[in-house]
Amino acid sequence: MDVRVVEKEHDVLRLELPKAEETLLIPLVEALQAEEKVVEARYHIGHPYLDRPSLYLKTKGEKPQQVLKRVLKDMADLYGDALQDFEKKADKVKA
């Protein structure tokens, strides 16, 4: 995925994710908002032809990059486990 850092400070990170859509951004923002160190997490889609989807993250006591990496890894593990469970069970289902 193509990611562009738009703003980076000690407690704020804003990224543009040109190919992102709400299917990815909604669970990502929800997972970020559940983190203790996150003060604010939101996304903006805007106009589909004029704006690039963006993610805004503000933290307290930890760098936003570290929080984002941790949450993305947790999500990858969660969805990877779901995929493995599905693959195991899909083989047992008769069509």
For the segment 33-90, what is each residue's pLDDT rounded down to a tens digit?
999 999 999 999 988 888 889 999 999 999 999 999 999 999 999 888 888 888 887 7
pTM over 0.85: no
Residue 95 domain-assigned (yes or no): no
Residues whose CB falls within 8 Å of the CB of residue 61, separated by 6 or more in sequence, listed in order: 37
Please report the pLDDT score of residue 2 as a whole number. Answer: 82
Quote the domain boundaries for residue 19. Answer: 4-90
b/e sequence 2-14, b meaning 16+ C-beta within 10 Å: eeeeeeeeeeebb
CATH number at residue 34: 3.30.1360.10
3-state secondary structure of 94: coil
What is the number of structural domains in the chain?
1
Residue 58 domain-assigned (yes or no): yes
Residue 10 domain-assigned (yes or no): yes
Please report the pLDDT score of residue 72 as a whole number. Answer: 93
Cβ 68 vs Cβ 58: under 8 Å: no
Residue 49 domain-assigned (yes or no): yes
